[in-house]
Structures are given as C-alpha cells and as structure tokens.
Amino acid sequence: MTADRHRILLLGNYRPTLTLVRTLGAAGHHLTVGLEGSDGGAEFSRHANATWDHPSLLKDEDAFLTALEAYVARNQITLLFPVSEEFVTCFVRHRQRVEALAPVAMMEPELVSACLDKVGMMQRCVRLQVPCAPFALARSAEELQAACDTLGFPLVVRPELSTQRLGGKKAVTLHTAQDVGTLVALWHNRSSALVLQQHFSGRRYNLYFAAEKGVLTRHVQAVILRTDSPDGSGLAVEGETIPPLEPLRTYTMRLIADLEYDGIGCAQYLVEERTGAISFLEINARIAGNLNVPEAAGLALGPLLVNKALGVQATAHPAASLTEGRTGMRYVWVSGELLAAIVAQMKGEIGFATMVKRFGVALGSAFRADLHMVWSWKDPLPALVTLWRLMPSLSGVKRRLKKLFFKQEESREKDRQVSP
C-alpha cells in the first residue's frame, strides 16, 4: 500500500458509512466495514474490501475495545473512522486507549463533548445572541413537572443523551398537562435527563460545514421537506439544498468561533418561514446522517476529516474564499421512509391505509430526486439488499392487502343482496 493509500476501519454501519465507503474507496483506500449499525448495507458496496463482525459495542464496551486492539494490530489498520455517534462517544471516553492504536478521524473529544451538551449549547446561544427557544433540564419527575409549569405548553422533549430515545423517537411533543403522565411512562430509562423546550413551529434547516481553527471554510444549507415521522421530529427523508440563508450562516459562524471549531459538522435550526423567526437546535460534531448531501454538493467533508487525522495539510481557505456547496439539489432516503412507515403501522401509530399512502409518497419522491442516500446506479447492491431486508415485513403487507380486498368484495356482495 502506497503512502497516500490507507487501511481504514469504519465503525458504525449506517447510511453515511456507505457514502464514505464509496468516496474513500474511489480514492484507492482499503476499507474494512464494521458490521454493527442501525442501517447496515455498506459492506455490500463494491468499494468495501473487508468486513469485521466485532463484539457488540452496545452490549460490552470493554470486549469491543479489547477486540479492536487485536484487530488493528493483526490487520495493520492505519486509520480508525468512528461514524455513528455510539462509536464517536466511545472513542471520547477511551481517548488514550484508542489513539494509541492508530490515528482517529473525528473531532477533538473536548469539542464533541461540548456539542453533545445540549443545555450547555443552548446557554452558549443565549450568550452569543443566537436565537433559541426557552428551555429547561429535568432529572426527575418533580423537575419535569416544574419545567412544564414554567415553560408552558406545547413543549418538545428530548433525552439529554442523543443516543437515547423516548418510545423509539428522538423527541416527543407535550400538548397538554395530561401528556406528562404518558411521557413519564416512556421515560423508564432514567440514565438520561430530559431537555424541555418551548415548541417552535418551523421547518428544519441543516447547515453542513467545515471549519478551521474557528473559521468557517466550507458550507451548504439544506431545508428538510419531510421526515420519517408525521410530526416532523424524525430523520430527514426528503430535502433540498438551497441558497444560503444569511442569518443561519452568521449564527453558525458565531458558534464555531466561540467553540474554536476545527473539523466538520452539521448545525441544525428551525425556521418559521412566514415570519423568519429562528431557533437553534444543535450542532452534530461528527459525520452527518445524510452525508451524501454535502459530498454531492462538493464539500468533500469525509476526505477532509481523513486528511486532518493523517496530518495532511489542507489547502488554506481564508474566510474571503469560503467554499459554497451546490444548491437546488433534491435528495431522498426512500428505504428509510418505507421502513419507518412499516414500523409505525406495526406499532399502531398509523393505519394500514396511511402506511400504503406513505409508501406511495416515498416511491413517488424517488423519481423527482437528484440524489439518493443509498441508491446508486454504479453501486446498486447496497440498496437492493436494503429493500430485500424489508421484504419479510412487506409479506405482512401483502396479507393485509388480500384481506382488505376480500372484505371489499364481501361488502359489495352484501350491497347487491340488499339492493331492490
């Protein structure tokens, strides 16, 4: 392997891992994909050279780290790339142990920790005059009730630990005091405090960026048109890159300057488009879920992070020559929306007819998109495998369709029998 070609181990197998495999594989790197992850599929890319079925990080962190040490030595891995948040936070907790193995493609642990501190980031926003809806932190049922009384309804509630979920969701909305009891039932895992924030109506906007020593160097903005959750709180399944909204860029520049941000990230805001009001959500100091968007827009964030980890000097990007990504690009994540619709129907959150309708919307979006998060004509197998994995669930859909058809036929027969 030549000096500019590396043996890279990617950990956390979900959709941005596939983007990294494709971009870094095209550059000639040898890529090993760890198999643990929420989406999977990257291992089927034609650019993936090897896979590693390692001990589960979520079940036994120390067993995973011990296996990692042996695997890196045995396979001469020259770069570790934690992709999903679980692996990033693990590497933050065990910084010295991991950095002794090989260079790591991630932001400095102090920066990651600062951005994961939701309340700390909101307090930073208040200090820097970055708009942010009123908020509170609750560690107990008593504090939860007090925060509700202070902030009023409606409220958006998220676990302080972003890897935690409330009933499988990243966030839930409390509309009335009666909803508090339901939330307490969902909050059975008290390992994470809850962040409460006054509900702010608006669309979610993502600002994908790179920064060098607190200076913004590359960026593209995108508006989220639909998510995999009907209330808009889930993962983005359709969006579009747009000409930059100047306030979002200004606020992000204030935050990254204050953080002395060095690396890549994704800043998220809610924007009430009728009034122009804005509320900060968070900065993800890691590879974004829809990494394919900034990469297709020309930012090359994945390779940039690899080069920083390897000590490769990047081309200087003074503020006057800020790189702007491609705009007007519509993107979709079809398999994510299909799976979310199936899960919601199985949980009883939506009816069968609504699920079928969401199928139609998802498939229709595929034909108007410029970019797909998983599908690629040049590398089709990961998407095909993903769809195949949905088939067992779809078999249930087929049974329901047949049952619905027979019910309709029975109804028509009864109508014919009672008709004069």
Instruction: Give me the tens of pLDDT residue by residue for the chain, a chain 420 residues long.
Output: 444 789 999 999 999 999 999 999 999 999 999 999 878 789 999 999 999 999 999 999 999 999 999 999 999 999 999 999 999 999 999 999 999 999 999 999 999 999 999 999 999 999 999 999 999 999 888 898 999 999 999 999 988 887 778 877 778 889 998 888 888 888 876 667 899 999 998 999 999 999 999 999 999 999 999 998 876 777 899 999 999 999 999 999 999 999 999 999 999 999 999 999 999 999 999 999 999 999 999 999 999 999 999 998 765 544 446 789 999 999 999 998 998 888 888 888 888 899 899 999 999 999 999 999 999 999 999 999 888 877 665 555 555 555 555 555 555 554 555 444
The domain in which residue 46 lies consists of 7-106
Residues 80/98, Cβ–Cβ less than 8 Å: yes
Any idea what the CATH number is for the domain that residue 166 is in? 3.30.1490.20
Residues 323 and 273 in one domain: yes
Residues 217 and 152 in one domain: no
> Does 21 fall in a domain?
yes
Residues 232 and 297 in one domain: yes
Residues 138 and 230 in one domain: no
How many residues does this entry show for the chain? 420
> Does 116 fall in a domain?
no
Residues 214 and 299 in one domain: yes
> Does 113 fall in a domain?
no
Tally of domains within the chain: 4
pTM, 2 dp: 0.86
Where among 150, 182, 198 does a domain terminate?
198
The beta strands (E) that lie in 125-214 are given as: 135-138, 155-159, 172-174, 194-198, 203-212
Number of H helices, E strands in the chain: 14, 16
Residues 208 and 321 in one domain: yes
Residues 231 and 314 in one domain: yes
> Does 354 fall in a domain?
yes
Q: 354: which 2 tokens?
A: 């609504």
The beta strands (E) that lie in 29-76 are given as: 30-34, 50-52
Nearest to 84 by CA among 25, 48, 32, 37: 37
Residues 84 and 98 in one domain: yes
CA-CA-CA-CA torsion sign (361, 364, 370, 376): positive
Residues 412 and 394 in one domain: yes
Residues 194/158, Cβ–Cβ less than 8 Å: yes
> Does 125 fall in a domain?
no
Any idea what the CATH number is for the domain that residue 319 is in? 3.30.470.20
> Does 89 fall in a domain?
yes
Where among 327, 353, 385 does a domain terminate?
327
Where among 149, 175, 198 does a domain terminate?
198
Place of tokens 């994945």: 302
> Does 111 fall in a domain?
no
Residues 234 and 314 in one domain: yes
Task: Reduce the DSSP state of residue 53 to 3 states and report it.
Answer: coil
Residues 289 and 255 in one domain: yes
Residues 81 and 18 in one domain: yes
Residue 153 and residue 203: Cα distance in Å, rounded?
19
> Does 112 fall in a domain?
no
